[in-house]
A and B are shown apart, each in its own frame.
Chain A
């Protein structure tokens, strides 16, 4: 199993969700996070004074997948999240050691 972690622009979440649903992936977890990469931060101006916002708001998506679905999911997320500008985010993939559904106790791929 794989755990796909994607950091994306917050306003792309609806299209990412749609793209994952379209390829039959039902279920993901999102977290509001802040950070910076090449985009660095941005500045905001209040009453004429500039404030540096070093950590830009992003969404973190976590999806647990069977091994054979990971590549599809990664390309779906990439396509749906992409705007072509700096700050579109990154995708990380981890080996997932175990999974268990709390209600039934199912494990492994059956739990996803």
Chain B
């Protein structure tokens, strides 16, 4: 074991901090980001869904998920040795790092929480709550855990040398593609596409996006799993990509519609963050700025294409913003590493690295789509996917949860 058994205080302190930042991305950041985008009558349902998915996936991560992702070095799946974190001693050091395994379990748990929570954006305003829980639970174990193992847990993609610093593939491609599949299977909201109401609280969307922006420092710089140079450059690249993408989305709207909107600006922020995620370990500052600007252009078109061309009601644009951003960053990563100073090293030559990245994106996208199709079918048979039209019209806050988000004169 040798060096593996040494706990580094600075690394551990940064990873504890990062873990808190990544949990903040789900609770409350993503909840507010999504909550502001829905109608007033569904605000609470989105907040409940985010909270419940976070709690459920935490417990499942403890029970099965961590072991399936990070125990053993099989090509396809981890083993059951760490089910229920059975052998997690207080002073165990995670192999290959200098932090306690407890911190590693917890850091990775926050990723396992936010990834199924991202998918919520696809099916809001019409799904049954039982289906949310069932789909999220099955999805965590059947889609997320294997892919995390392939890419980060020593599985077949890791052995091929794929590079995904913080989750362009593991988080954003899986969630984005699965979101599209569920949105397609659950069918559009009944007013789609022309009667859909606009976001009820753009200010809340901005608060959520801003918290996501800050939390993303833990997500990306924390993925260095150390507190040194890699974490520092990852944070810088992350911030610059977000800033440049924000400006780019505003510019697109300003030119196209004459008015730069708040919701547009912060959607750009998230596109820039999702896109730099896989490349945060190899991008230098200039590469990050260029990648961020490109992210907004591509994601803007993707959002439009999902809604208007293939006409799937991925309500809050999970595929268009997260999935496409994550895939784009993963594919462009070999080239971004070459731009300007500060870039990191690839596992292969540029062309070969691109091939590996492309294989990973395609295989993970296909696997996510097929597995999610099966999971969603199963959920449909067991608990049903949709609330009835009366409840959809009334709003899920009262119909499903017996609460109302906004009262006046009460």
Contact = CB atoms under 8 A, between A and B. Distances in A.
Q: Do A and B come from one complex?
A: yes
Interface of A: 44-49, 51-53
Counting chain B CB atoms within 10 Å of each CB, the highest count among A45, A47, A49 belongs to: A47
B307 A46 contact: no
Contacts of B307: 49
B264 interface: yes
Nearest to A51: B198
A48 B198 contact: no
A52 to B, nearest CB: 7
Where chain A touches its partner, the secondary structure class is strand
29 contacts: A44-B198, A45-B253, A45-B257, A45-B261, A46-B198, A46-B199, A46-B202, A46-B263, A47-B263, A47-B264, A47-B300, A47-B303, A47-B317, A48-B253, A48-B256, A48-B264, A48-B300, A48-B303, A48-B304, A49-B193, A49-B196, A49-B304, A49-B307, A49-B308, A51-B196, A51-B197, A51-B198, A52-B194, A53-B198
Where chain B touches its partner, the secondary structure class is helix
Contacts of A44: 198
Nearest to B307: A49
B19 interface: no
Interface residues of B, number: 21
B267 interface: yes
A46 B261 contact: yes
A59 to B, nearest CB: 16
Interface in B303-341: 303-304, 307-308, 317
A48 B317 CA distance: 12
A52 B196 CA distance: 9
A46 B36 CA distance: 12
A68 B202 CA distance: 47
Contacts of A52: 194
Contacts of A49: 193, 196, 304, 307-308
A47 B305 CA distance: 12
Given A46-B199, A46-B263, A49-B304, 11 more contacts: A46-B198, A46-B202, A46-B264, A48-B264, A48-B303, A48-B304, A49-B193, A49-B196, A49-B308, A51-B196, A53-B198
A44 to B, nearest CB: 5
Nearest to B301: A48
Interface string B197-214: 111001000000000000
Interface in B281-304: 300, 303-304
A86 B389 CA distance: 37
Interface string B244-282: 000000000100110101011001000000000000000
A51 B263 CA distance: 14
